[in-house]
Amino acid sequence: MSEVQVDAEQVRAAGTSMAEVGHTVGSCTMGEDLLAVAGAVDGADAGRAATQLAEQWQEVISTWTRAAQAQAEALRASADSYDETDRASARAQQHLGGRLAVLP
Amino acid sequence: MTLTLAQVRTWRPQVLAGVADALSVRRRQLLVAVEDLDLEAAPPSSWTGAAAGAATARHDELRESLAEVTGEVAGVISALDAASAAAQAVCDDLDGVLSFAAGQGCRVDLHTGTVHASDDGADPQVIADRLTGVLSAAVTTDAELTRALHYATAVLGQAGPGAEEPEVTRLPAGATEVEVARWWNELDPAAQQHVLDHHPEWVGNLDGIPAWARDEANRTLLPRYRDELAAEHDRLLDLAIAGPGGSDFFIRAGRTAKMLEGLAQIETVLDRGDRQLLLLDPSGSHELRAAVAVGNVDTADSVGVMTSGFGSSVRDSLASYDARMSSLADLAATESLRQGRVQEIATVSWHGYEAPQVDTGLLLPSRSVLSAAPAEAGAEDLASFLRGVEASRETPAHLVPMGFSYGSVVTGMAMQEVTGADAMVLIGSPGMGTSDLADLQLPEDSAYMIEARRDVIADTGWFGGDPSHLDGLTGLSAREETIDGVTYTESVGHSNYFEEGSTSQYNLAQILAGQPEHAVEHHGRGIGDWFSQWWSR
């Protein structure tokens, strides 16, 4: 079993930053920009190719954003879990300390 | 879909530039996001354990895919900028031609491209030709932008997190060129792109793969090889300075430096544009191997493959061979047009073997110019390359291998295998590895030679006899000739066969274009051949 070291606050901060990055990337609506190509080159194959790529970009950005939010949630959940484990361990130690106090 | 001038007339290049600008803003946002991923959102390095490992792996995957998307956006921006400039030039040209037509009193139907002549006799054909040129430029602009956009689509299809890796069946070892072509064609576009992105070394030099894919793979590999060779060079120099065996390390470092200079030459040639990098191999013991095409080998009607000779190398010779091949392709296309045939021509400078050099290798049978060993090794690879060109195309090309000097020995030997070649030209040849034309796997009457006056190398007949004495080889003139009122110059000696305006270049162009009936024949025999006929017996 591997050794575990963790600063839960740092993990939580990483999760918060990840959520912000996901929000930034999600606002990059490159696909919408690209749709203008089709109207600029009437009759050209490039217009259809640009539309196809625009849809692809929308999908990729959307998928990436969801993955980033999932990662952010996972990091924050890990931090919460570590905090909870730590609190539970502390309670156990305190409880044990109380029982040891009654020993002669 | 067929593009019309009426549609081109409505193009708005400035919109393409505007989209490029908007995407540049988005790209900067993405770059900041990538930076934030690194600095703020990465799992803390002090965090250890299984969960930390999983989180880090997921983070790396997200970062890699976002960086890839950002890179592809940059590629699309470049393509849009280029397309905007090209489309603007097309629109300006179209305006110019239409103004000219109006000035001549001609009327242009933009839907059909038909030019209606004026009453005062202005030639509508001149205007029609110019309009054809404008439309051709528009089609090219469209094709280049479309290709860039399709490329980005294919790459991004694999870039997103969680995107499935396409299934790629590995090619069995020892596959023939035809089997290679079949394997490639059976991969779907996403799998092909996956191979090009993640395993370019599989296909860059693989005969049977289409030229466009080899080119893309080798262009990906080039900077990688440069970095590896530079690191190897530094390592060898350190070893040379550090301890025993220093001189050997110095020699090896020198070879590595030569290969690096060869890579730089390749980049210079590729920068000339309209080139395909069909072979790139730094694994040789002494020389970098490479092949660069002018034009599109996948679609050209005729493909010429020139093999270089003694003393040639990628570093010292590629640029000049490439320039000669570019001129030859232009001339072949022009000569075709003169005969009423519109042909797309491609030519390849093939440095695919380690040509004998002026160095200590002269004393080694495996590397000496007096030995057939380097030619035999090269011939096998050249034959495979030629078969690969044929196998990878939808329809066969008019395929013409040409060999200069020692390269003609390589070419002659390659022609003793089945390659699909339609004609062969030996230039300043000291022999073709056989004195019997029946050994050549070529159609009848399609083996040619050119020998200039005072070409002493061509008179040696060292490798299977002097070609100018072999029955069945058709001699092409390198003398001064006047053809259809144009005087072409004579080539004298061993090194002037490719001169602009020379008869020998003219004749090469005719054979390449598949018009041997317009070539000028000459047996090429001179005083040197009087002697060589004796030792050729």
Residues in chain A closer than 8 A to B12 (CB atoms): 39-41
- Segments in B161-210 forming alpha helices (H): 177-186, 189-198, 200-203
Q: Is the Cβ pair B40, A17 closer than 8 Å? A: yes
**pLDDT per residue as tens digits for the range B188-216:** 888 888 889 888 988 999 999 999 999 99
Render B341-364 in DSSP notation, one character per residue. ----EEEEEEE-S----SSGGGGS
pLDDT above 80 (res A19): yes
- Chain A residues in contact with B57 by the CB 8 A cut-off are none
The span from the CA of B408 to the CA of B405, in Å, is 5
Of B7, B10, B19, which to mutate for an interface test with A (greatest number of A Cβ within 10 Å)? Answer: B19
Mutate to test the interface with A, among B62, B88, B150 (most CBs of A within 10 A): B62
pLDDT at A104: 59
pLDDT single digits (tens) B380-410:
999 999 999 999 998 999 999 999 999 999 9
Name the band, by pLDDT with cuts 50, 70 and 90, for residue A2: very low
Global model pTM greater than 0.90 = no
Q: What is the dihedral of CA B41, B42, B46, B47, to 10 degrees?
A: 90
pLDDT at B261: 95
Distance from CA of B92 to the nearest CA of A (A): 15
Whether B80 and A37 have beta carbons less than 8 Å apart is answered as yes
B41 in contact with A at a CB cutoff of 8 Å? yes
Token pair, residue B52, equals 């930390």
CB B148 within 8 A of CB B76: yes
Asked if the model's pLDDT at residue B159 lies above 70, the reply is: no
Across the interface, of A17, A43, A50, the residue whose CB is closest to B41 is A17
Question: What confidence tens digit (pLDDT) does each residue in B75-104 have?
Answer: 899 889 989 999 999 999 999 999 988 888
- C-alpha distance from B235 to closest chain A C-alpha (Å): 38
- Report the pLDDT value the prediction gives residue B399, as an integer from 0 to 100: 98
Instruction: Single out the residue of B84, B66, B71 nearest to residue B19, CA to CA.
Output: B84
Minimal CA separation from B415 to chain A, in Å: 42
Label residue B74 by pLDDT band (50, 70, 90).
Answer: confident
- Inspect the interface and report whether the beta carbons of B83 and A24 lie closer than 8 Å: no
Rounded to an integer, the average pLDDT of B171-177 is 81
Residue whose structure tokens are 């047009």: B337
Residue A22's pLDDT is 94
pLDDT of residue B116: 85
B249-275 pLDDT, tens digit per residue, is 888 888 899 999 999 999 999 999 999
Phi and psi for B116 in degrees, rounded to 5? -95, 125
ipTM for the assembly? 0.86
**Does residue B13 contact residue A30 with C-beta atoms inside 8 Å?**
no
Other beta carbons within 10 angstroms of residue B231's beta carbon come to 11
Tell me, what's the pLDDT at B112?
Answer: 84
* Closest-approach residue (CA) in chain B for A50: B149
> Are residues A33 and B47, on separate chains, in Cβ contact within 8 Å?
no
The answer on pLDDT for B180 being more than 80 is yes
Per-residue pLDDT tens over the stretch B118-142 = 766 567 888 888 888 888 889 889 9
Are B36 and A57 within 8 A, CB to CB? no
A57-103 per-position pLDDT tens digit: 888 899 999 999 999 999 998 888 888 887 877 787 777 776 666 66
Ramachandran bin of B454, using left for φ above 0, alpha for ψ from -120 to 50, beta for the remaining angles: left
Mean pLDDT of B141-151: 86
pLDDT digits (tens, 9 = 90+) for B342-378: 889 999 999 999 887 766 655 666 666 667 778 888 9
| Contact predicate B135/B113, CB 8 Å | yes
pLDDT of residue B522: 85
CB pairs under 8 A between A and B: 172
Q: Is the pLDDT of residue B61 over 80?
A: yes
Which of these ranges, B46-55, B172-181, B390-399, B480-489, has the smallest mean pLDDT?
Answer: B46-55
- pLDDT at residue B162 greater than cutoff 90: no
Instruction: Say if residue B527's pLDDT is above 70.
Output: no
For the segment B311-351, what is each residue's pLDDT rounded down to a tens digit? 889 999 999 999 999 999 999 999 999 998 888 999 999 99
Of B19, B42, B163, the CB nearest to A34: B19
Nearest beta carbon to residue B7 from set A30, A39, A42: A42
Q: What is d(CA B280, CA B205) in angstroms, rounded to the nearest whole number?
A: 7
Assess contact for B121 and B183: CB atoms under 8 A: no
Q: Indicate the residue of A7, A25, A45 with minimum beta-carbon distance to B142.
A: A45
Q: Which of the two residues, B281 and B456, has the higher pLDDT score?
A: B281
Give the pLDDT confidence of B486-520 residue by residue, as tens digits. 999 999 888 889 999 999 999 999 999 999 999 99
Lookup: tokens for B304: 């010429």
pLDDT on residue B157: 61
The count of other CB atoms within 10 Å of the CB of residue B427 is 31
Residue B248, H or E segment: helix B246-270
When the pLDDT of each residue in chain B is averaged and rounded to a whole number, the result is: 87
Res A1 pLDDT > 50: no
Partner-chain residue, chosen from A11, A27, A37, that has the shortest CB–CB distance to B16: A37
How far is residue B42's CA from residue B48's CA, in Å, rounded to a whole number?
Answer: 13
